[in-house]
Amino acid sequence: MSSRRLLRTACVMTVVGIALGACTTNKINTGTFRLTEEDKGLVLLESTAYQGVTPTRVTYDDYRLIEEYTLYRGAKGQAEVLFAQPTRHYAHSTVLTFDKLISTSARMWRFNQGQTLKFEEAFTVDNAITTFWVQPYKQVEAGRDCAGFSARWETRPDDRQLRPGRIMFGYHCAPKGMPFSADDAMALVKEIQIRGVSVPLRVETVYELQKGAPPAPPKDVQVRHLVLAQDGGGGGISGLPDFPLLIADTYNDLDGPCKNC
């Protein structure tokens, strides 16, 4: 490799590092970032494509918002999901400001960036949680069949903008050469579950309840968790650069300030 090309590569890596570092610096003090144990994770992809796969989970929480980033990767493909909801104490007065189309949210994931995405017609799928929009697409350069999915629910009727209380969006991409049809996408989305919503939460023992919530990890550990969610540990093969989205807002009723705040 020529010295000019080495210099160019070094410059690109420096710029990327600075950009990621700035994002990390700006968000690391907004809440707590944890690497979540599997039995405490919220989002479950119970599709046969991910049987036996243990996902990577990073959870962000502050005083009124919880966001969970989940990565599934196996021999039959890769999926990433972002789920957000208010904390229990602020659920009555908090809405989430996220209304992006799948054709937009799909491009938020690193795995899709740098690819030409060719979208097919979108359709709806009902599962045990709510109604999802699903839209198959293809990564043209990589030759992968994919589908994006998105849902917004628990819309607040007294919020002027009719924003939801919970949102989820994500994608699944099959390996190159493995077909993934609209029917396959429908079947995958039907198998999405959320602990505490469509399936029960794990039952904690009396000993666990007595211990209380675990302390926040040290800041350097939290930074590693944040980078894992934003950049998948490097290489651009996974991650959501905008994580956490920080989309919680206090809503107003139709006549004035929020009467339930």
Q: How far apart are CA 12 and CA 109, in angstroms?
A: 20
The predicted pLDDT at position 196 comes to 87
Strand-pair category, 56-61 with 43-45:
unpaired
**For residue 7, what is the DSSP state?**
H
pLDDT higher than 70, residue 3: no
Q: Where are the domains of the chain?
A: 31-250
| Contact of 166 with 85, CB cutoff 8 Å | yes
Nearest to 149 by CA among 242, 83, 50: 83
| Contact of 154 with 215, CB cutoff 8 Å | no
Structure tokens at 195: 């602990």
How many C-alpha atoms does 101 have within 13 Å on its Cβ side? 8
Q: How far apart are CA 187 and CA 15, in angstroms?
A: 41
Q: How far apart are CA 121 and CA 103, in angstroms?
A: 11
Q: Rounded mean pLDDT of 34-54? A: 93
For the ranges 108-122, 133-147, 174-188, 207-221, which has the lowest average pLDDT? 207-221
pLDDT higher than 90, residue 48: yes
pLDDT digits (tens, 9 = 90+) for 143-160: 999 999 999 999 988 888
pLDDT higher than 60, residue 130: yes
Residue that is written with structure tokens 């043209």 in the block: 140
pLDDT higher than 60, residue 1: no
Nearest to 168 by CA among 187, 148, 198: 148
| pTM, 2 dp | 0.85
Chain-wide mean pLDDT for the chain? 86
Local confidence band at 261 (pLDDT 50, 70, 90 cut-offs): very low
| Contact of 163 with 191, CB cutoff 8 Å | no
Local confidence band at 5 (pLDDT 50, 70, 90 cut-offs): very low
The predicted pLDDT at position 6 comes to 33
**For residue 215, what is the DSSP state?**
P
The predicted pLDDT at position 232 comes to 87
Local confidence band at 257 (pLDDT 50, 70, 90 cut-offs): low
Q: H or E element: which one contains 249?
A: strand 248-250
Q: How far apart are CA 22 and CA 80, in angstroms?
A: 23
DSSP E strand boundaries for 42-122: 43-45, 56-61, 65-74, 77-86, 94-96, 117-119
Q: How far apart are CA 109 and CA 148, in angstroms?
A: 11
Question: CA 208 → CA 141, 195, 203, 204, distances in Å?
Answer: 49, 18, 10, 6
pLDDT digits (tens, 9 = 90+) for 18-37: 344 556 668 999 999 999 98
Q: Which amino acid, residue 10?
A: A
pLDDT digits (tens, 9 = 90+) for 62-88: 999 999 999 999 999 999 999 999 999
| Contact of 172 with 78, CB cutoff 8 Å | yes
Q: How far apart are CA 128 and CA 193, in angstroms?
A: 7
